[in-house]
Amino acid sequence: MGEDLQKILITEEQIDSRLAELAAQIDKDYEGKDILVVGVLKGAVMVMADLVRKIHTPLTMDWMAVSSYGSGTKSSGVVRILKDLETDLEGRHVLIVEDIIDSGLTLSWLKSNLESRGPASVQIATLLRKPEAATVDIHVEYVGFDIANEFVVGYGLDYAEKYRNLPFIGTLAPHVYGG
Ligand code: PRP
Ligand code: MN
Ligand code: MG
């Protein structure tokens, strides 16, 4: 796996301390409320697991699976629901947790989808965001790191379903995706 990586972009330690900062902010902002944390499968599994363990506000978790990428490196722009929530959103404070906002297509679609179900609020937390790649403008309350427009893997993020288990965020060597 080592020769597939170009470099480590964000270390385990950097992720851990940034998530602690986001969790502290979330605790402040949601004081006195219950949060329904919605993790977006599969990429958000790691950030979800680590972030909720740092949040002290009462919360429940649910999962949604959507996919816009298939096996390539480019967003198709077509968002499909592969698994829907099991929770009624009526009156709930929803916090969507994502690993990355790339074009923004997935989240802008998902946010309006969840907003149409009658929640009290919908906010977004993402570990990574690529400002240069954004094709739609969405307001994001909690951002871990803004990164350059390069293909990243690890800590939940895949290339053709691989590398999700890396404990850090890295960039892929161009030869891996035919560059
Ligand atoms: C990736 C990533 C985000 C989305 C971001 O998911 O986890 O959910 O793409 O891209 P966008 O901002 O351009 O829409 P993917 O569709 O690859 O599914 P996965 O989480 O199962 O890997
Ligand atoms: Mn995803
Ligand atoms: Mg993916």
Of the candidates 3, 1, 2, 6, the residue with the CA atom closest to the CA atom of residue 148: 6
Residue 167, domain CATH: 3.40.50.2020
* Any ligand 1 atom below 6 A from CB of 99: yes
* Predicted pLDDT at 74: 59
Residue type at 108 in one-letter notation: S
- Taking only the tens place, the pLDDT of each residue in 83-131 is 999 999 999 999 999 999 999 999 999 999 999 999 999 999 999 999 8
Q: What is the domain extent for residue 162?
A: 2-177
99 is catalytic: no
pTM, to two decimals: 0.94
* Any ligand 1 atom below 6 A from CB of 170: no
Task: Categorize the per-residue pLDDT at 139 as very low, low, confident or very high, splitting at 50, 70 and 90.
Answer: very high
Ligand 1 centroid – CA 41 distance (Å): 9
Distance from C-alpha of 170 to C-alpha of 177, rounded to nearest angstrom:
14
User: Which residues, 6+ apart, have CB-to-CB distance to 175 below 8 Å?
Assistant: none
- Taking only the tens place, the pLDDT of each residue in 61-87 is 999 998 776 556 556 667 889 999 999
Q: Report the atom number in ligand 1 closest to the C-alpha of 109.
A: 14
The number of distinct structural domains making up the chain is 1
